[in-house]
Amino acid sequence: MKTFILITGPMGVGKTTVGTALCDALGRAAFIDGDWCLDIHPFEGNRETKSMALDNILHMARNYRDCSECDAIVLSWVMSENMARKIIAGAVDMGLRVCSVTLTCSQEALIKRWKQDKITPWRTDGELAASLRSLPDYNSRADTHLLDTSGLSAAAVAERIRQLACNF
């Protein structure tokens, strides 16, 4: 049975970096960045576009599930608990084994990571404030493995997730 690893957390916590490092650590793994599945310019995050993103994610997961070259699927995305539940339900319906991980960190670590990110154009002060406000919500999530990434490298976080995914 193939494994589907869902990684969520606030903007800037390191989901994409950890997700790609995790794929490298796992080998024979596919990476889905949820942002790719809702890449509309200008961005519009409403009911219709979120439904489309869910469909896109599950479509990609189904294709990777059926690919003989792929043993695991890693999805990283900022998502609500409700969206995470829908994605997990869809993955389970496909016969995938699901491991859900929520990355968190201290406010200081989030600010530091945010300021070091020179690539992502939406790393604005306003978005940072929104991400900082969302930290308590991610720290209180149920039905997920909470992983505080403060002070950890992406490789160390990826290894912890790999161990979780292989041992549950």
* Model confidence at 18: pLDDT above 60: yes
The rounded percent of the chain whose pLDDT value lies above 70 is 99
pLDDT in tens, 64-76: 999 999 999 999 9
pLDDT of 167 > 80? The answer is no
Residues 57-101 pLDDT 10s: 999 999 999 999 999 999 999 999 999 999 999 999 999 999 999
Alpha-carbon distance 54 to 71, whole Å? 21
* Domains observed in the chain: 3-167 (3.40.50.300)
Taking a C-beta distance cutoff of 8 angstroms, is the pair 12, 129 a contact? no
- Per-residue confidence (pLDDT) for residue 39, from 0 to 100: 87
pLDDT at 20 (0 to 100): 97
Q: Partners of 6 in the beta sheet?
A: 75, 100
CA trace torsion 155, 90, 133, 39 (10° rounding): 80
DSSP for residue 45: -
Chain centroid offset of residue 151 CA: 19
